[in-house]
Structures are given as C-alpha cells and as structure tokens.
Amino acid sequence: MASLIKLKIFFLAVFFLSFGLFTPAVFALQDAREIRIYIPPILGSGSSEDNAYFYKQLTAEVASQYHAVVRLESSSDYTLRGRIQPFACNHDPFDICPLHIGLDPERNDHSDELIFYVELVKTSTQDVIGVQYIAYTRISSRVEELLSVIVYNMLSWIPDIIMVTDTRDNWLFFGINALWLPRLYGEVESLYWLNFGAGLTIQFQFLDFMVLNVGVQISQDWIRVSEVNHLDTILDIPLALGFVFKISGHLLLEIYGGYSFNFSLLNVTEPSSRSWFAGLQLGVRAGPGFITIEPRFTMDFFNSRLIQSEVAPMMDYSRNMIQLAIGYKIGVLKKR
C-alpha cells in the first residue's frame, strides 16, 4: 500500500512539473510576426543625392525597429512612401501647409526650401495611416535626427500582426517517443523505477477538437521475486480517444483515455491482456511539428502472471504503471 501511495504521489509530481516547465516557456513566445514594409523610390523634385539619402535613411530606420523591408509591394503589410517637393501651402497630394522645422520662422523667402513628406499606407486597403514632413534647405545632422523621430512615431502606430495559421490543421499526425515507465507490482510489493521503452503513434484528427490515437510501444517489465529479477519485454498496442485544446499558436494540450492490448515478447511473464489508461500530452511548436511531453497512468484489468521456472514458482500479481514520454510528432495531409 505504501508503494502505491508513492506511485500516485510521483505521478502527480510529474504532471505538475511538466506543466510548470512548459507553460512559462510557451507563453513567453509571441504569436505576432514581424511587420513587412515596402519602401518605393523617393518621388518628387529632389536631387538624385537627396532621393538616395532619404531612401537609405528610411530603410535604416525601419530595420532598426526590427521590421522587415521587402522588395515587392504585393508582399508587404505597409508601404512607406517618400516625396520631395518645393515649399508650398497648396500642393498635391496632401494639401497641408508645412511648418518650418529647424528653419528661421521670420524668413519670407522660402524659394530654396524643400519639403520631404513621409506617408505610411496600409498596403491591402491603401488607407493612409499617417503623414509626416520635414522642411529643409540642405541635408544635415538635424534632418537625420528629425527623420528618425518621425519614422519612429509613424511605425509605433502599426499594431502587431497575429499569425492565424492553424497548427492542427492536418488529418494525420505521426509521432515517435522515448518512454520511462516506473511500475508497481502489487502482490510482491515491488516498485521498479528503471523500465524504459520506445513508441510510435498515429493520430487521426476527425474533428477540430477530437483525435483518435493508435500506437505501438515496446518496454521492459522487470519484476523481482524472492531476491531474483525476472526481465521481460512487453509489446503494447494502445487505442485512445482524446480532446484537443489549442491554447495558442505554439501550445497544444490533449487529454485522453483509452484501452491497451498487451503481449509478452520473451514469454517470461503473461501480462494482463488488456489495460486502461488516462493521460495528457503537452505539445510545443518546433519546426514543422511539435515536441511533446506526455505523462500517463495505466492500470491492468486482470492480474499478470509470472511463468513458472527453475528459479521461481508461478504466481499472479497486479501492475500499476505510470509513463512519461518525450517525443516529436509531425502532421501530414492538410485539411484544406
């Protein structure tokens, strides 16, 4: 009885530890992707030197804020347009009278002044998000400082873009797992911690929130009777029905229960032919698939049996098992 209590406590500890390790790391990940911004050549009446300077500065400012500069407008989220025009109060296309930024406000002659306009446009709708401008007579460090400020302010208006790709949008998932399976053998009061194994799984997601699991796994079964160790290899074929919760684009939680068929490969024992189990699987997006951690509790429907040998009599015993699996699974056959 004491060993059974220890096994249950250990199972609960594995559950809370695995959830505690994965959850903070996953929720630290962001679903937002980088903003893609297209910068066309500078238009207007500026010199080629001024056009090249402002284009270079706009590109540098966008990159410094960790946005992506793209070469095609069709692949962008936003467009940052620049235009140089002579000073005028009624001009196309913005119809605003610019301030004399960095210039002498008492001047009446502005014939040598130029205005550099920056316009932020949402590419998909061509809606203008904002317009900023600088009045200047020649390129200087002051112009560079002002440009940095206005581009920073304009880009701060852009909201994060959340990725909406469905990480479970597949019909089938294939997985491979490494297993650790501590087992309590009831009648002989033996708790063995060093059973290991490996498994393969196939999941069929027939509904967005429900999945059918079938697998095969091979593991050790090591029972100690009368100071003698008896080692067997067990083949399990588990079938399970699970409920899938898509917590975020990077995290999945699956809770499942099922039925397992068990066979001895070395004929040292006769394991219970059928078992029931329940568990959960936490999945973290990694590359094209998921890294998974999976605690599970299993109990036999019937007693297992140690086959009589020269060193041990035939005897029946029960098994209570926990399983901790760490693996990787990948989806195939997109639903749409």
CATH topology of domain 33-162: Rossmann fold (3.40.50)
State the Cα torsion 314-320-324-330 to the nearest 10°: 90
Residues of the chain with CATH 3.40.50.10070: 33-162
What does the pLDDT read at residue 322? 86
Residues of the chain with CATH 2.40.160.20: 2-29+165-334
- Give the DSSP letter of residue 310: S
d(CA 7, CA 321): 8
The partner residues of 51 in beta bridges, in order of sequence, read: none
Please say whether the structural domain 2-29+165-334 has been given the CATH code 2.40.160.20: yes
Parallel, antiparallel or unpaired: strands 319-334 and 183-185: antiparallel
pLDDT band at 229 (very low <50, low <70, confident <90, very high): confident
Can you tell me which residue has the tokens 């080692």? 231
The partner residues of 201 in beta bridges, in order of sequence, read: 175, 215
pLDDT band at 15 (very low <50, low <70, confident <90, very high): very low
What does the pLDDT read at residue 316? 81
The predicted-structure confidence for 154-209, as pLDDT tens digits, reads as follows 988 888 775 555 556 788 999 999 999 887 776 555 667 788 899 999 999 988 88
> What is the share, in percent, of the chain residues with pLDDT greater than 70?
76
Q: Once rounded to an integer, what is the mean pLDDT over residues 133-146? A: 89
Q: Is the pLDDT of residue 223 over 80?
A: no
Tell me how far apart the terminal alpha carbons of the chain are, to the nearest angstrom.
52
